[in-house]
Amino acid sequence: MLRISLEILPLAALTPAFWAFIVVIFATAFVSRRQLPTGPATTSRAWIGSLLALFAAPLALLVAGLVLSPAGAHRSPHELLALTTLYTIAGAQLGVLAWVVWQRRIYLWPTIVIAIIAAWWTAGAFFTASMAVTNTWL
């Protein structure tokens, strides 16, 4: 699943989920740019830790795709529940993206670049997991 999610990245850039992620990233960046950072400067360990949080959702999507995929060649009767799980994980990633961009606004441009990479992989993982859950492969 991991290999497939990385191979599908060129197609993932065309999905509406990816562009929704991009809108959230840049809207948060625009608003956070106007707001000066307050409080003590964060350490590089905290910055790296919050950026690693961005990559938890793609891995969770791939695990959910493996666990919730039907065993046989037919579609599962629990397909709606499985797809709802995938949409919930992807929706949570929107919140994580906004939170990380807001929290790490002192390093805004590196954070934006890493958030876009995470959003791109999330879109690819969502695409791959939804193909696994519906048992409909390209």
Record the pTM: 0.86
Contact predicate 119/25, CB 8 Å: yes
- What confidence tens digit (pLDDT) does each residue in 6-37 have? 888 888 889 898 999 999 999 999 998 777 66
The structural domain count of the chain equals: 1
pLDDT value at position 36?
66
Higher pLDDT, 127 or 41: 127
- What confidence tens digit (pLDDT) does each residue in 30-73 have? 998 777 666 555 667 777 788 788 899 999 999 999 998 887 76
Q: What is the dihedral of CA 71, 77, 81, 82, to 10 degrees?
A: 20
pLDDT value at position 42?
63
Q: To which H or E segment does residue 30 belong?
A: helix 16-34
Q: Which range marks the domain in which residue 96 is found?
A: 2-34+43-134
| Beta strand extents in the chain (DSSP E only) | none
Contact predicate 127/9, CB 8 Å: no
